[in-house]
Structure 1
Protein backbone atom coordinates (compact mmCIF):
# COMPACT_ATOMS: atom_id res chain seq x y z
CA UNK A 1 0.00 0.00 0.00
CA UNK A 2 1.11 3.58 -0.56
CA UNK A 3 0.82 6.29 2.08
CA UNK A 4 1.61 9.99 1.71
CA UNK A 5 2.04 12.60 4.43
CA UNK A 6 3.51 16.06 4.89
CA UNK A 7 6.45 17.21 6.99
CA UNK A 8 5.33 18.04 10.54
CA UNK A 9 2.00 16.24 10.28
CA UNK A 10 0.93 12.77 11.41
CA UNK A 11 0.19 9.74 9.27
CA UNK A 12 -1.73 6.60 10.25
CA UNK A 13 -1.45 3.27 8.47
CA UNK A 14 -4.22 0.69 8.82
CA UNK A 15 -3.05 -2.92 8.61
CA UNK A 16 -5.39 -5.90 8.33
CA UNK A 17 -4.23 -9.49 8.71
CA UNK A 18 -6.36 -12.63 8.78
CA UNK A 19 -6.37 -14.81 11.90
CA UNK A 20 -4.34 -12.29 13.87
CA UNK A 21 -6.66 -11.38 16.75
CA UNK A 22 -4.45 -11.68 19.82
CA UNK A 23 -1.12 -12.16 18.08
CA UNK A 24 1.74 -9.76 18.63
CA UNK A 25 2.00 -7.02 16.01
CA UNK A 26 5.01 -5.05 14.83
CA UNK A 27 6.01 -2.34 12.39
CA UNK A 28 9.45 -2.13 10.88
CA UNK A 29 11.42 -0.16 8.31
CA UNK A 30 13.70 -1.56 5.64
CA UNK A 31 14.07 -5.30 5.19
CA UNK A 32 12.42 -6.26 8.49
CA UNK A 33 14.90 -9.13 8.67
CA UNK A 34 16.53 -8.32 12.03
CA UNK A 35 15.44 -6.97 15.39
CA UNK A 36 17.11 -3.60 14.69
CA UNK A 37 14.58 -3.00 11.87
CA UNK A 38 11.59 -3.24 14.26
CA UNK A 39 10.36 0.23 15.24
CA UNK A 40 7.45 -0.73 17.49
CA UNK A 41 6.14 -4.08 18.69
CA UNK A 42 3.33 -5.43 20.86
CA UNK A 43 3.32 -8.79 22.58
CA UNK A 44 0.50 -11.32 22.38
CA UNK A 45 -2.68 -9.81 23.83
CA UNK A 46 -1.20 -6.29 24.17
CA UNK A 47 -3.42 -3.67 22.50
CA UNK A 48 -1.56 -0.35 22.66
CA UNK A 49 2.03 0.82 22.66
CA UNK A 50 3.82 4.11 22.15
CA UNK A 51 7.53 4.61 21.53
CA UNK A 52 8.79 8.07 20.62
CA UNK A 53 6.91 9.30 17.54
CA UNK A 54 5.27 5.92 16.91
CA UNK A 55 2.13 4.42 18.38
CA UNK A 56 0.40 1.13 17.66
CA UNK A 57 -3.29 0.54 18.36
CA UNK A 58 -4.69 -2.99 17.96
CA UNK A 59 -8.47 -3.44 18.04
CA UNK A 60 -8.14 -7.20 18.63
CA UNK A 61 -9.88 -8.29 15.42
CA UNK A 62 -6.82 -8.58 13.18
CA UNK A 63 -6.75 -4.88 12.29
CA UNK A 64 -4.23 -2.53 13.80
CA UNK A 65 -3.10 1.04 13.20
CA UNK A 66 0.36 2.54 13.36
CA UNK A 67 0.67 6.32 13.68
CA UNK A 68 3.87 8.26 13.02
CA UNK A 69 3.71 11.79 14.46
CA UNK A 70 5.69 14.82 13.38
CA UNK A 71 6.70 13.42 10.00
CA UNK A 72 10.21 14.14 8.70
CA UNK A 73 11.49 13.81 5.14
CA UNK A 74 13.78 11.04 6.41
CA UNK A 75 10.67 8.98 7.29
CA UNK A 76 10.19 8.34 3.56
CA UNK A 77 10.80 4.68 2.79
CA UNK A 78 9.52 1.12 2.85
CA UNK A 79 7.87 -0.18 6.00
CA UNK A 80 6.20 -3.47 6.93
CA UNK A 81 3.11 -4.12 9.04
CA UNK A 82 3.67 -7.55 10.51
CA UNK A 83 1.98 -10.16 12.68
CA UNK A 84 3.91 -12.60 14.84
CA UNK A 85 2.89 -16.18 14.10
CA UNK A 86 3.75 -19.14 16.31
CA UNK A 87 3.19 -22.05 13.93
CA UNK A 88 3.67 -20.50 10.50
CA UNK A 89 5.97 -17.75 9.29
CA UNK A 90 5.11 -14.17 10.29
CA UNK A 91 2.88 -12.32 7.81
CA UNK A 92 3.67 -8.92 6.32
CA UNK A 93 2.06 -6.04 4.44
CA UNK A 94 4.38 -3.68 2.59
CA UNK A 95 3.85 0.05 3.14
CA UNK A 96 5.52 2.67 0.98
CA UNK A 97 5.60 6.03 2.81
CA UNK A 98 6.33 9.26 0.98
CA UNK A 99 6.78 12.42 3.03
CA UNK A 100 6.22 15.64 1.11
CA UNK A 101 7.23 19.18 2.04
CA UNK A 102 4.87 20.88 4.47
CA UNK A 103 1.84 22.45 2.76
CA UNK A 104 1.50 26.23 2.88
CA UNK A 105 -0.02 27.55 6.15
CA UNK A 106 -3.80 27.34 6.23
CA UNK A 107 -3.94 24.51 3.68
CA UNK A 108 -6.17 21.63 4.69
CA UNK A 109 -5.06 18.11 3.82
CA UNK A 110 -7.99 15.62 3.67
CA UNK A 111 -7.80 12.18 5.21
CA UNK A 112 -8.13 9.49 2.57
CA UNK A 113 -9.00 5.81 2.60
CA UNK A 114 -8.92 4.23 -0.83
CA UNK A 115 -9.46 7.60 -2.48
CA UNK A 116 -12.47 8.53 -0.32
CA UNK A 117 -12.37 11.18 2.39
CA UNK A 118 -13.10 9.79 5.84
CA UNK A 119 -12.46 10.28 9.55
CA UNK A 120 -9.29 9.03 11.28
CA UNK A 121 -9.19 5.85 13.36
CA UNK A 122 -10.05 6.14 17.07
CA UNK A 123 -6.43 6.73 18.15
CA UNK A 124 -5.82 9.73 15.85
CA UNK A 125 -6.68 13.25 17.00
CA UNK A 126 -9.28 14.66 14.61
CA UNK A 127 -7.59 18.06 14.45
CA UNK A 128 -4.46 16.61 12.82
CA UNK A 129 -4.66 16.08 9.06
CA UNK A 130 -3.26 12.75 7.94
CA UNK A 131 -3.48 10.14 5.24
CA UNK A 132 -4.87 6.76 6.19
CA UNK A 133 -4.26 3.85 3.90
CA UNK A 134 -6.38 0.76 4.14
CA UNK A 135 -5.29 -2.79 3.36
CA UNK A 136 -8.40 -4.93 3.16
CA UNK A 137 -7.05 -7.78 1.05
CA UNK A 138 -6.35 -10.89 3.12
CA UNK A 139 -2.69 -11.74 3.19
CA UNK A 140 -1.14 -15.00 2.27
CA UNK A 141 1.36 -16.43 4.69
CA UNK A 142 4.40 -14.68 3.26
CA UNK A 143 7.78 -15.30 4.76
CA UNK A 144 9.96 -12.41 5.82
CA UNK A 145 10.85 -9.98 3.03
CA UNK A 146 13.86 -11.05 1.04
CA UNK A 147 17.16 -9.49 1.84
CA UNK A 148 19.14 -7.84 -0.88
CA UNK A 149 22.83 -8.46 -0.86
CA UNK A 150 25.14 -5.60 -1.34
Structure 2
Protein backbone atom coordinates (compact mmCIF):
# COMPACT_ATOMS: atom_id res chain seq x y z
CA UNK A 1 0.00 0.00 0.00
CA UNK A 2 2.76 2.48 0.90
CA UNK A 3 4.46 1.90 -2.45
CA UNK A 4 1.20 2.82 -4.22
CA UNK A 5 0.88 6.05 -2.26
CA UNK A 6 4.51 6.98 -2.93
CA UNK A 7 4.05 6.31 -6.66
CA UNK A 8 0.88 8.43 -6.73
CA UNK A 9 2.60 11.25 -4.82
CA UNK A 10 5.50 11.37 -7.29
CA UNK A 11 3.09 11.24 -10.24
CA UNK A 12 1.09 14.15 -8.89
CA UNK A 13 4.18 16.17 -7.98
CA UNK A 14 5.57 15.78 -11.50
CA UNK A 15 2.25 17.04 -12.90
CA UNK A 16 2.47 20.05 -10.61
CA UNK A 17 5.78 21.08 -12.15
CA UNK A 18 3.95 23.04 -14.88
CA UNK A 19 5.86 23.88 -18.04
CA UNK A 20 4.75 20.92 -20.14
CA UNK A 21 5.70 22.71 -23.34
CA UNK A 22 8.33 25.23 -24.38
CA UNK A 23 6.96 28.47 -25.82
CA UNK A 24 8.83 30.56 -28.38
CA UNK A 25 8.73 34.37 -28.47
CA UNK A 26 10.31 36.79 -30.95
CA UNK A 27 11.15 40.47 -30.84
CA UNK A 28 13.14 42.89 -33.01
CA UNK A 29 16.62 44.02 -32.07
CA UNK A 30 16.30 47.34 -30.23
CA UNK A 31 12.61 46.66 -29.54
CA UNK A 32 10.94 44.64 -26.83
CA UNK A 33 9.42 41.22 -26.28
CA UNK A 34 6.77 40.13 -23.78
CA UNK A 35 6.87 36.57 -22.48
CA UNK A 36 3.82 35.02 -20.85
CA UNK A 37 4.15 31.85 -18.75
CA UNK A 38 1.10 30.06 -17.35
CA UNK A 39 0.96 28.04 -14.13
CA UNK A 40 -1.84 25.82 -12.87
CA UNK A 41 -1.32 26.73 -9.20
CA UNK A 42 -0.43 30.14 -7.83
CA UNK A 43 2.80 30.92 -6.01
CA UNK A 44 4.58 33.53 -3.95
CA UNK A 45 7.92 34.34 -5.59
CA UNK A 46 8.00 35.10 -9.30
CA UNK A 47 11.27 34.95 -11.21
CA UNK A 48 12.71 34.98 -14.70
CA UNK A 49 16.08 33.43 -15.41
CA UNK A 50 18.55 32.88 -18.17
CA UNK A 51 18.65 29.13 -18.71
CA UNK A 52 17.60 27.31 -15.51
CA UNK A 53 17.51 29.71 -12.49
CA UNK A 54 20.68 28.26 -11.00
CA UNK A 55 24.14 29.67 -10.40
CA UNK A 56 23.17 33.34 -10.53
CA UNK A 57 21.09 33.10 -13.72
CA UNK A 58 18.17 35.04 -12.14
CA UNK A 59 17.46 38.18 -14.17
CA UNK A 60 14.51 39.46 -12.11
CA UNK A 61 12.75 38.15 -9.00
CA UNK A 62 9.97 39.49 -6.78
CA UNK A 63 7.45 38.55 -4.09
CA UNK A 64 5.28 41.48 -5.20
CA UNK A 65 2.73 41.67 -8.01
CA UNK A 66 5.19 43.54 -10.24
CA UNK A 67 8.81 44.71 -10.35
CA UNK A 68 11.29 46.46 -12.64
CA UNK A 69 15.03 45.80 -12.90
CA UNK A 70 17.03 47.39 -15.69
CA UNK A 71 15.64 46.21 -19.04
CA UNK A 72 13.41 43.60 -17.35
CA UNK A 73 9.94 44.02 -15.88
CA UNK A 74 7.83 41.26 -14.34
CA UNK A 75 4.11 41.16 -13.57
CA UNK A 76 1.94 38.50 -11.95
CA UNK A 77 -1.71 37.78 -12.71
CA UNK A 78 -3.15 35.34 -10.20
CA UNK A 79 -5.87 32.92 -11.32
CA UNK A 80 -9.35 34.15 -10.41
CA UNK A 81 -10.63 30.58 -9.86
CA UNK A 82 -9.56 26.92 -9.79
CA UNK A 83 -10.12 26.36 -13.50
CA UNK A 84 -7.89 29.23 -14.59
CA UNK A 85 -4.14 29.63 -14.79
CA UNK A 86 -1.93 32.18 -13.09
CA UNK A 87 0.48 34.06 -15.36
CA UNK A 88 3.99 35.41 -14.95
CA UNK A 89 4.49 38.06 -17.63
CA UNK A 90 7.98 39.39 -18.38
CA UNK A 91 8.93 42.19 -20.76
CA UNK A 92 12.49 42.71 -21.97
CA UNK A 93 13.22 46.14 -23.49
CA UNK A 94 16.04 47.25 -25.78
CA UNK A 95 16.59 43.74 -27.11
CA UNK A 96 20.07 42.70 -28.19
CA UNK A 97 21.00 39.77 -30.43
CA UNK A 98 22.69 38.22 -27.38
CA UNK A 99 19.25 38.03 -25.69
CA UNK A 100 18.34 35.15 -28.02
CA UNK A 101 18.28 31.88 -26.11
CA UNK A 102 16.49 29.76 -23.54
CA UNK A 103 14.95 31.15 -20.38
CA UNK A 104 12.90 29.88 -17.44
CA UNK A 105 9.86 31.48 -15.83
CA UNK A 106 9.67 30.35 -12.23
CA UNK A 107 7.01 30.38 -9.55
CA UNK A 108 8.13 29.38 -6.05
CA UNK A 109 5.45 27.83 -3.85
CA UNK A 110 5.26 27.11 -0.14
CA UNK A 111 3.19 23.91 0.03
CA UNK A 112 3.48 22.59 -3.53
CA UNK A 113 6.47 21.94 -5.78
CA UNK A 114 7.84 25.02 -7.53
CA UNK A 115 6.60 25.67 -11.05
CA UNK A 116 8.92 26.22 -13.99
CA UNK A 117 8.16 26.91 -17.61
CA UNK A 118 10.88 27.03 -20.23
CA UNK A 119 10.70 29.58 -23.02
CA UNK A 120 12.90 30.49 -25.94
CA UNK A 121 13.44 33.99 -27.25
CA UNK A 122 14.61 34.84 -30.78
CA UNK A 123 15.80 38.37 -31.46
CA UNK A 124 15.25 39.25 -35.11
CA UNK A 125 16.98 41.96 -37.13
CA UNK A 126 15.91 45.48 -36.31
CA UNK A 127 12.81 46.74 -38.07
CA UNK A 128 13.24 49.34 -40.80
CA UNK A 129 12.69 52.88 -39.60
CA UNK A 130 9.06 54.05 -39.72
CA UNK A 131 9.95 56.80 -42.23
CA UNK A 132 10.80 54.20 -44.89
CA UNK A 133 7.48 52.39 -44.52
CA UNK A 134 4.15 53.42 -46.01
CA UNK A 135 1.81 54.97 -43.44
CA UNK A 136 -0.63 52.04 -43.55
CA UNK A 137 1.94 49.53 -42.31
CA UNK A 138 3.07 51.56 -39.30
CA UNK A 139 -0.25 51.33 -37.48
CA UNK A 140 -0.46 48.61 -34.86
CA UNK A 141 -3.39 46.20 -34.97
CA UNK A 142 -6.20 47.04 -32.59
CA UNK A 143 -7.31 44.62 -29.92
CA UNK A 144 -10.56 44.07 -31.79
CA UNK A 145 -8.85 42.77 -34.92
CA UNK A 146 -9.64 39.08 -35.60
CA UNK A 147 -5.97 38.09 -35.77
CA UNK A 148 -5.20 39.50 -32.32
CA UNK A 149 -8.24 38.00 -30.62
CA UNK A 150 -7.62 34.56 -32.18
CA UNK A 151 -3.97 34.60 -31.13
CA UNK A 152 -4.82 35.49 -27.53
CA UNK A 153 -7.74 33.04 -27.17
CA UNK A 154 -5.84 29.98 -28.42
CA UNK A 155 -3.46 29.82 -25.41
CA UNK A 156 -6.41 30.37 -23.06
CA UNK A 157 -8.33 27.46 -24.60
CA UNK A 158 -5.24 25.23 -24.42
CA UNK A 159 -4.67 26.22 -20.79
CA UNK A 160 -8.31 25.46 -19.93
CA UNK A 161 -8.10 22.02 -21.58
CA UNK A 162 -4.86 21.33 -19.71
CA UNK A 163 -6.49 22.34 -16.40
CA UNK A 164 -9.55 20.16 -17.01
CA UNK A 165 -7.29 17.23 -17.96
CA UNK A 166 -5.22 17.75 -14.84
CA UNK A 167 -8.31 17.76 -12.60
CA UNK A 168 -9.57 14.62 -14.34
CA UNK A 169 -6.22 12.87 -13.70
CA UNK A 170 -6.30 13.87 -10.02
CA UNK A 171 -9.86 12.53 -9.61
CA UNK A 172 -8.97 9.21 -11.26
CA UNK A 173 -5.76 8.88 -9.23
CA UNK A 174 -7.55 9.57 -5.96
CA UNK A 175 -10.37 7.16 -6.89
CA UNK A 176 -7.89 4.37 -7.62
CA UNK A 177 -6.10 5.07 -4.34
CA UNK A 178 -9.35 4.84 -2.37
CA UNK A 179 -10.33 1.62 -4.18
CA UNK A 180 -6.94 0.02 -3.44
CA UNK A 181 -7.13 1.09 0.18
CA UNK A 182 -10.69 -0.26 0.60
CA UNK A 183 -9.78 -3.54 -1.11
CA UNK A 184 -6.76 -3.99 1.15
CA UNK A 185 -8.81 -3.31 4.28
CA UNK A 186 -11.51 -5.73 3.13
CA UNK A 187 -8.96 -8.46 2.43
CA UNK A 188 -7.39 -7.96 5.89
CA UNK A 189 -10.75 -8.35 7.60
CA UNK A 190 -11.76 -11.47 5.62
CA UNK A 191 -8.30 -13.07 6.04
- Aligned ranges for residues 106-145 of structure 1 at < 5 Å? 106=130, 108=138, 116-117=147-148, 137=159, 138=162
Larger Rg: 2
Write the distance in 1 (CA, Å) between the matches of 2:122 and 2:35: 12
Residue pairs, 1:35-114, within 5 angstroms:
36-43=56-63, 46-61=64-79, 62-106=86-130, 108=138
Runs of 4+ residues over 6 Å off in structure 1: none
Q: Return the alpha-carbon distance in structure 1 between the equivalents of residues 91 and 60 of structure 2.
A: 10
Given the superposition, is the C-alpha separation of residues 109 and 78 from structure 1 closer, same or farther in structure 2, using an over 3 Å criterion? farther
* Uncovered stretches (5+) of structure 2, i.e. residues with no partner: 1-22, 80-85, 142-146, 150-154, 167-191
Shift of the alpha carbon at 1:109?
9.1
Tell me, yes or no, if the aligned pair for 1:9 and 1:69 is still in contact at 8 Å: yes
* Cα distance in structure 2, aligned partners of 1:101 and 1:81: 25
Note the C-alpha offset of 1:24: 1.3
Structure 1 gaps of 5+ residues are: 119-133, 141-150
Pairwise CA distance, 1:25: 0.8
Q: CA RMSD in A?
A: 2.6
Matched residue SS, 1:117: helix
The alpha-carbon deviation at position 117 of structure 1 amounts to 2.7
Is the contact between residue 110 and residue 117 of structure 1 (CA under 8 Å) also seen in structure 2? no
